[in-house]
Amino acid sequence: MLSAPADSWKLGLMPQAVANGLANILVLLYLISALHGSLLDIGLVTGVAALVLIPSQMLWGRLVDALGRCKPFLVLGFLGMGVSFAAVPWAGSVAVLLALVSLKSVAYAATLPARQLLTVESEQWKGWQSGIARMQFLTSSGETIGLGIGTLTVSVLGFGQLFLLCAALCVTSAALLEVVAREPGVMIQRRMVQLERSMSTIVAVSSFMEYSRLQPQRPAYNRLLGTLKRSTKFLMIGIFGFSLAGSAFYSPLPAYFLRFFSSGSVFLILFGGSLGEAVCYLLVGRLAQSAGMSLMMSSFLRAIMLPLLLLAALGAAPGLAITVAALAALMGLGSLFDVSSTFAYLETAQVGWAGLYGALVGLGNAGGGFLGGFVSMRFGFASLFALCSLIFAGAFVAFWLQFKEASWPAS
């Protein structure tokens, strides 16, 4: 999967990804089992953790761009995550857990723009999408391994031991990246893409002015408008909507599945979903061509497939098998969205705004966490899944409007 020596630093992300996959579900199980939290508490913890990411990613993204360095943010971010994970077993209340999860989010936020910029600045523009996919495949594989560890050990080891394992894995990632990560030198790849666009605009204007002296040329006029009018408002709306619906249905899922299955089975279901996500990251890097088409397809299919999770109520073997398959497909579509939306945003982002994409996704995740907890508590999971399907459908419409209106190639 790693196609170049410059990719080797991405292996340093793996231990932290294993910790992330294990801890994301472990925190919610700890909240439910040890702190006796409600669905609203789940939504609160998920929402606050995502909300903290918004200003954090914008700040860290600007600092990464301003300093022109990525490695310090990766190392310090993973060390901060390790400290927060190690302290979770001593959280005696929901309020303390909220504080620790927020600390973890601030530290994690430092690593996101750093890893994205290190990826794109180490690749030519044509290789951005595959480079992002390779990175996401590795981290998703790590998270899948983390869920597998949880499936095998949650009934044997205590919360304290598992959270300490997560902390040790984060420290391991920090140490590995300190050794193997290399700074890109001058961050020039995104500036080169912007320069190329500027030259294309000049050529389009010159061609239009030349032909307009002879007779109106509607196709040339339309191409000119497509070059000059690069508004990304519908792309931003679609990214926000997809993130909102994704977080809303996913954040309370452990509590939903615990109604029908044991803790070990819940980890197994989430392991299957994460495995589907990892496999799709591998396929996206090789097969994805159009970011616009990928974004529309992922949102449309999620809208129609999400209600399949209601079949978990069948319980036992049939319900378990159907639920694993449905969640694997839904998570696979999420990986398609992740790579395509990151590529579409970074292709158009101004220098200094690398953290805005993560902040937008964080806003959606935060709103989704609150929304998922409230709707599932007040109206039930059937209503929640129906609402999320509608939001995914709205995201599909936004992506369709974006790539129809802008008339610029997405790959």
What is the maximal distance between C-alpha atoms in the chain?
A: 80
Query: DSSP state, 1?
Result: -
312-357 pLDDT tens trace = 888 777 888 889 999 999 998 988 888 888 777 766 555 555 556 6
270-282 pLDDT tens trace = 888 888 887 887 7
Tokens standing for residue 104: 């973890």
Cα distances (angstroms) measured from residue 150 to each of 27, 126, 199: 12, 38, 52
37-79 pLDDT tens trace = 888 888 888 888 888 877 887 788 788 877 777 888 899 999 9
Query: DSSP state, 190?
Result: H
CATH architecture for the domain at 5-186+231-405: Up-down Bundle (1.20)
At residue 122, the pLDDT reads 59
| Residues near 317 by beta carbon (within 8 Å), at least 6 away in sequence | none
What is the chain's length? 411
Cα distances (angstroms) measured from residue 395 to each of 104, 238, 267, 303, 400: 29, 4, 29, 9, 9
In whole angstroms, give the CA distance from residue 356 to residue 362.
9
The pTM of the full predicted model, rounded to 2 decimals, is: 0.69
Nearest to 24 by CA among 147, 199, 123: 147
At residue 202, the pLDDT reads 41
Please, are residues 253 and 310 in contact by the beta-carbon 8 Å criterion?
Answer: no
Q: What angle do CA 294, 386, 140 make, to 5 degrees?
A: 45
In whole angstroms, give the CA distance from residue 86 to residue 88.
6
In whole angstroms, give the CA distance from residue 62 to residue 24.
27
* Terminal Cα distance for the chain, rounded: 21
At residue 148, the pLDDT reads 86
DSSP string, 60-125: HHHHHHHHT--HHHHHHHHHHHHHHHHHGGG--SHHHHHHHHHHHHHHHHHHHHHHHHHHHTTS-G
At residue 408, the pLDDT reads 42
Please, are residues 241 and 364 in contact by the beta-carbon 8 Å criterion?
Answer: yes
At residue 7, the pLDDT reads 63
Q: For the chain (length 411 residues), average pLDDT per consecutive 10?
A: 60 90 87 86 86 82 79 91 93 90 91 79 58 75 87 82 94 91 56 41 41 48 45 82 93 88 85 84 66 88 93 80 91 86 67 61 85 91 95 94 60 38
Please, are residues 107 and 77 in contact by the beta-carbon 8 Å criterion?
Answer: yes
Distance of CA 116 to the CA centre of its chain: 12
Q: Can you give the residue ranges of every domain in the chain?
A: 5-186+231-405, 189-226
Specify burial of residue 87 (Cβ count, 10 A radius: 0-12, 13-18, 19+).
middle
